[in-house]
Amino acid sequence: MENQVFVRLAKQEDLPRIEQVIAQARARIACLGIDQWQDGSPSMETVGNDLKVGQGYVLVSGETVCGYFALLTQEEPAYDQIKDAWLGEKEKSATIHRVAVCDDVQGKGMGRAMMLEAERIAKELGMSFIRIDTHEGNRVMRAFLGKLGYVYRGEVFYADIKSPTKTRLCFEKTL
């Protein structure tokens, strides 16, 4: 019998497992030679804040947390740097951040399932568009987003991140 797979709001007791999932994703990113997340971000403080405001979600297989993402319904200020490239109004756009799956489910369609559920939740919340950004060197994530129908919209610069590469590529999808 296959494990049931679902997405739910993350709980405080999920934090240790979320930390493990993010650490595994961080290690995979490092193996690709990408400096994204190598500064310790996302921090557990940031993830804890996601949970406090009801915007942190986990992917669960059986009883095991195997993925994490944040779905923000407020504006992403950095995205204001991109002018006239977005299809949708920022008020009707959700943003996905901190997408991670554990090693055990990597390459098994769980990331896809998690993203599709994030899109469903965003639509249920009244959003018409969903946005996401990634490191310019993260070809794996860029290809993944393309397969899911996300369209490149431009670059943003995050001055406040510790990573040497502060530019991120932004993508958008109509829901």
Write out the residue range of the structural domain in which residue 137 sits: 5-174
- Rounded-to-10 torsion of CA 92, 133, 107, 124: -10
Give the 3-state secondary structure of 104-163: HHCCCCHHHHHHHHHHHHHHHCCCCEEEEEEECCCHHHHHHHHHCCCEEEEEEECCCCCC
- Buried b / exposed e over 128-140, threshold 16 CB at 10 Å, is ebbbbbbbebbee
Query: How many CB atoms within 10 Å of residue 43?
Result: 12
Q: Model confidence at 28, in pLDDT bands (50, 70, 90)?
A: very high
Write down the pLDDT at residue 2. Answer: 63
Q: How far apart are CA 26 and CA 30, in angstroms?
A: 6
| CATH number, domain containing residue 151 | 3.40.630.30
Write down the pLDDT at residue 55. Answer: 97
What is the total count of domains within the chain? 1
**93-101 and 129-135 beta bridge pairing:** parallel
- Each residue's pLDDT tens digit, 83-136: 778 876 677 899 999 999 999 988 888 999 999 999 999 999 999 999 999 998
Positive or negative CA dihedral for 123, 21, 78, 81? negative
- Each residue's pLDDT tens digit, 50-68: 999 999 999 999 999 999 9
C-alpha pair distances (Å), 159 with each of 40, 53, 156: 16, 24, 10
Nearest to 99 by CA among 15, 29, 10, 25: 25
